Amino acid sequence: MVGPVGTFQTCFNMLKIFLGIGILATPETFKKIGLVGGVLGLIIIGLLNGYTMMLQIYAKIKLNKHVVSYSDLGEKVLGVSGRRIVDFCMVTSQVGFGIAYLLFVGNQIDQVVCFESNLTKCGQKNLYISVAGLFLMPVCWFRSMNYLAYVSIASNICLFLSCKFIILKSFNYFFSVCNH
């Protein structure tokens, strides 16, 4: 498809972003740095994000030029070297995020398989990372986010069903403990 991403696709992609790895990793972060540190960290990160967004908007308005990407903004402000610096930083950060995501996915799948196999099939994290990488690499080559909307819908349904399953399992566990 050619053209802008529609509202429908954007909504499902944004839902997946907000309910994705961040919501899964946040409890572990709070566990490591504590409730006060976690809350303060979230507030600081939110303020920094808001500040940098405002800086980008201010720079675009001040330039009074057509800017459609971070690379364009870097080029308008610092010339060709600005574009290269921005592109390098974006590629570096995205590769880092991708590696962190694959490590997270591999670890989570390994834990589930280990638990479900009664500790007989543990330690296969590298295999799961490789399989996930082979599946996700072609997705990275999409030239439009339109195609990801359908994957996001399926993953949101799975996320909803897994939350429902976890809640039901928690209630069953709670009531079984109370009845004994």
Decide if pLDDT at 20 tops 50.
Answer: yes
| Rounded CA separation 150/8 (Å) | 10
Structure tokens at 43: 């507030």
Identify the pLDDT of residue 180: 63
Contact 12, 149 (CB under 8 A): yes
pLDDT at 151 exceeding the cut of 80: no
Tokens 């490590």 belong to 103
In angstroms, the CA 77 to CA 90 distance is 17
User: pTM of this prediction?
Assistant: 0.63
Length of the chain: 180
**Mean model confidence pLDDT for the chain:** 82
- Residue 80's Cβ-count burial label (10 Å; 0-12, 13-18, 19+) is exposed
Structure tokens at 120: 């007989």
- Model pLDDT, residue 1: 40
